[in-house]
Chains A and B, each alone.
Chain A
């Protein structure tokens, strides 16, 4: 029995998991849980994720939710295949660098970019109107975060060091959407962030994942 991911192809958190699976060359089945029909609040799905959110990963008897925990699991289970996404063969300091930038994604980068992408891209798709003031406010927060990234990426090719890791990968889904908005300038105006983005988004595994995103 193979790996199942319950989610939607345009959901950034679902994409985070699919991207990790593709980096590891793991076959999976995407089972659609359509948020627009409220499928995520149905008892069958809540039995898998009591918080009623996508994605969920089912791997044999293992059922996991929270996309960042799922991507860690994939990186750990398949550590021998593809890139060593958690630097599990490295020193404590090297592993700590990965954990640090994973937390920065979760705590500093994630909240403003998610709010910005929602306002600029998702809301219009759902029939709402973008509030430009919200976009500006979130862009202001994200700019300060990206200034830290610019300084970091001037010193190392990838966030955790010389190698591509889960810390870089976890940034790709939301950044991909940011680049489809006028606020792509936040990336294009920062040379090291731009070079990093061009590098990580040109990976074969990402191109495969991106091909499955409907827009």
Chain B
């Protein structure tokens, strides 16, 4: 039976889950949740995700929310039909995956999401005005984070080691939007970061999922 993802291609968290499903060749159905009608705050969706956010996930009786938790479930469930992206079999490798997943959530995400929220989400979804000061501060912050990534990726092919992992994929949703914006220079000016991104963007799962994601370019 196919699993269900309740969300939208414009939701970066939804894209995170779709990438994992595609990488593992899993059968799934994307059930669209309409942001503009407030469907994510409606009782049926709140019953799946009490924080009223996208995505929610259904596998038979199991209902999950929080994209990184859903992703871990997907990567474990379909483990035999795709790449080993969590490295559960090795204490040290899985620890490195977890470190760089936390770096994504705590360091990277906070800087890059502000840029996307100010330049796209606010004007398009809320009819608001971009705060250029916040954008400038976030760009500076992201630059410092990417300096650490540049140093890391000059020592290993991917973030957790020489193997692709969920830690790398987890960066894709927001990065896709920034690469399509004038701020792409943050990535293009850092050679190892650039090569890392190009490697991720060349994957079939990336191409399939992101074909459905509107970007500002």
Contact = CB atoms under 8 A, between A and B. Distances in A.
Contact of B106 (A66, A72, A100, A148): A66
Interface size class of A (residues with CB under 8 A): 20 to 34
A62 B101 CA distance: 17
Interface string B45-89: 000001100000000001011101110110011000000000000
Contacts of B152: 50
Contacts of A92: 73, 76-77
A86 B107 CA distance: 24
Interface string A38-70: 000000000000110000000000101110110
A69 B69 contact: no
B95 A148 contact: no
Given A92-B77, A93-B62, A108-B51, A99 B68 contact: yes
Interface magnitude class on chain B: 20 to 34
Contacts of A108: 51
A190 to B, nearest CB: 15
A76 B106 contact: no
Contacts of A51: 103, 107, 145, 148
A100 B92 contact: no
15 contacts: A51-B145, A66-B99, A66-B103, A69-B95, A69-B99, A69-B101, A72-B95, A73-B98, A76-B91, A76-B95, A95-B73, A100-B69, A102-B69, A107-B105, A145-B51
Interface of A: 50-51, 62, 64-66, 68-69, 72-73, 76-77, 92-93, 95-96, 99-100, 102-104, 106-108, 145, 148, 151-152
